[in-house]
Amino acid sequence: MECGVSAVIFDMDGVLLDTEKVYLESCCAAAEEMGIGDVSDVCVSCIGITAEATKKKFLEVFGGEEECERFWDISRRITRERLSKSIPVKPGGRELLQYLYDNGVPMALASSTKTEIVIRELISVDLFGFFTRIIGGDMVKSSKPDPEIFLTAASSLGVTPDECIVIEDSKNGILAASSAGMTAFLVPDLVVPDDEMLKRSARVMDSLFDVISYFTDAQEERP
């Protein structure tokens, strides 16, 4: 490719879409409505994993299936209300996708969110057409930090793991990308990077604009 990149795999929530804050606020609002304690810590620990894995974590908090389902019903209602107004794209997201697309770089999206939701949200913000492949959490057996979703994305693009750059914001995502043998770029969102995240990340960047700068610099350095 013109910019020397074989393929780029993106996470969605917290990387391209500024939705993690909405999900966190919705969960906290649902907890308040139910009169239970602070759930922010368990919410943050669920960033980057599938809905099924998240439900298992929350089942440990509530102890009962009925209360857990009531919590998720309320949380989903609040989330839908907030996202129905608009879904914010992260700064630099559209510009980065356009840059890679213009340079002929194949892109996949590998999100723990269900595929139908991923497609719907990408279409709503006019980002769907940039991606060669979409891999949702319901298309794999194991949730991040298991590398399955990234390996599936690489295979669908016809590239090997070592040819891929993954852009992630969560610890679960970074661990999954690193375990897959891919180059992990960390663009933090809600989660403050710990030592393991920093160790497993090839680059830590403040925004997606910095990722564009990395690629353009690399392109200029090529002979």
Closest alpha carbon to 189 in 205, 173, 169: 169
Query: Alpha-carbon distance 144 to 223, whole Å?
Result: 38
Q: How far is CA 17 from each of CA 182, 196, 217, rounded to the nearest angstrom?
A: 22, 24, 25
The Cβ of residue 160 has, within 10 Å, a number of other Cβ atoms equal to 14
Query: Alpha-carbon distance 41 to 50, whole Å?
Result: 17
Structural element, H or E, at residue 50: none
Q: At what angle do helices 208-221 and 93-102 cross, to 10 degrees?
A: 30
What is residue 167's three-state secondary structure? strand
Closest alpha carbon to 5 in 163, 214, 196: 163
Query: Alpha-carbon distance 150 to 187, whole Å?
Result: 17
- The residues that are catalytic are 11
Q: Edge-to-edge, what's the strand order for the sheet holding 7-10?
A: 133-135, 107-110, 7-10, 164-168, 183-186, 203-204
Query: Alpha-carbon distance 213 to 211, whole Å?
Result: 5
